[in-house]
Structure 1
């Protein structure tokens, strides 16, 4: 008979031991390891543009490397010139006026999300999290002492939650509602009317809103990005925006994000960062300065390519019996339902979950996808179409061939 390990003997704290690794990064790492071993794996796992960072941004970083000014510590909250540029960029792109004192530059969007939650959550505070959700949100909430409360939307609503659903999830412990549009993992984009309704509901109930705007420039067709505090001004005193350069400018590896929020919250988050990591790499900050200060021509070129790939992947996925994929309006992800395939025989196996189906796809078709369990909704797969056109077509063709073999 075994007994639980006493806390005094536990090697890893309960708080950190409870964290799951990033499912998307794990899938990407496995795909890259298999490719390195010589297998022709095509990876749809990581949310990472396949384009290089634009040259003018790289050149700004090269110059920064040569400048002794950037060889030293700088303010923990970010280079003043970058914070000023983020203020100008926010007004340009969102129509939202803020002050530099409301900006904190962080080591990527993930640190921005964690520090924002850490700054406003006390133990037991609840955060309403629309699902499907990006894998990092619930973990950041738990690390900050909060409790994620999931509100699930499915393909019948285009993966968008309603005010009625949010209200049904609200309790006396609810402090924050998470709002993400365009969405990772679904590509869902809320209309201005629906976004405004959610913002006014949150303001009326006295809730905080954390809104992730990292995909703001990646919208397609008639979809339109809107920034909640710009269209619901009364929300501004309880609204935190997280954003960064990773997706818009193909700068995932540069690790520069930011928080925009009320000055007291930003000051508290800055204090936290001053002890956790100090300032973000100065060279990366100078690169980000060039990015947010420049025009959006390179962004428009990337968006055109993503739009083309979006239409291709949705068409090809919907040609597979048992697969239904709504057309995403933003970001660079397709999120098809594969519920009708579960339990069917495919090459001698009967996957019962989307985790098992994703493993079968990797083994049999050498295609890496992320199962819906990672995003809080079993029965789905996430495929990033931020990869080359040829790989995209080849990868989905392999899926078509494999899944066509499914039988009752």
Structure 2
């Protein structure tokens, strides 16, 4: 068993501080083997007056919150690559560990939030024993098997969810193409499903393999930094990656073989998640009455989902990553998000901001005894969203 020190890299100031003023010799030695190189300059995002279509108190609050994070996204999400001289990866999400110096690396730049790491280290059966402090813990990770040299790592939390691929992995794959020698490098991912292989191939990556979940050592491990931070997206890399992906699906021209609609309701009825609305049947009926086609994304291929969203002009759905498919819609689409009022998911607003769409949020109670009120509220919300 060893005591491991947590190095949290949320921005470039953290990288500099951990290198210049480390809290102990372990961190100092570990940071000597870490380098960051910027690959592309971000530009500042300009606020859009017509991004939010609703002017009620709830939407005005979200609009103000979003404008705040978007205004600093160019600074908080620098687009570059990390190089680690000698580290290991562990677990489904590939935690980066310097065993020699007894340090683990997390942070926004690596797509590892502190909140998620705290849950992950305790619940992933990777050898965690106990916390010593907020900055260190005891664990027995075991001995690593020998892994790669000079590979590019593209695995991190959120890996198994398609919607997270659209905002976390598709842009980072595009960023990895700017790395020197990327065409010849092996790209390391988590377990690979067919739809993941499809997205990887469309990103122009030809050499890739799963990294595995057991402790694995790597020399000269490279990885693209996170391309978003706190609901703010770095630009131009995100919109470039999304538009390139959209074009690759458009070339398939599958719309000839399937029905499409200008009004689309994205339902989570068949999705076994914790945020599902309690009254799916009534909600779907309400949407059909207003001319919407009900879509269950998990029943369609990626190409079919892209086709449906490409033709839609008004999209309504429960808060969830399936709504990230609006990246495939032509500019000017309108997105209505049915929200749990305890959440403030502004990723949807960020996507709409970058791609020229419009958005409105509708807070729902989700209580069974308030279904009628919620349905009436949704009906009025959708009518306003569809109004010319």
Give the structure-2-normalised TM-score. Answer: 0.29
Give the structure-1-normalised TM-score. Answer: 0.28
The structure richer in strand per residue is: 2
The structure richer in helix per residue is: 1
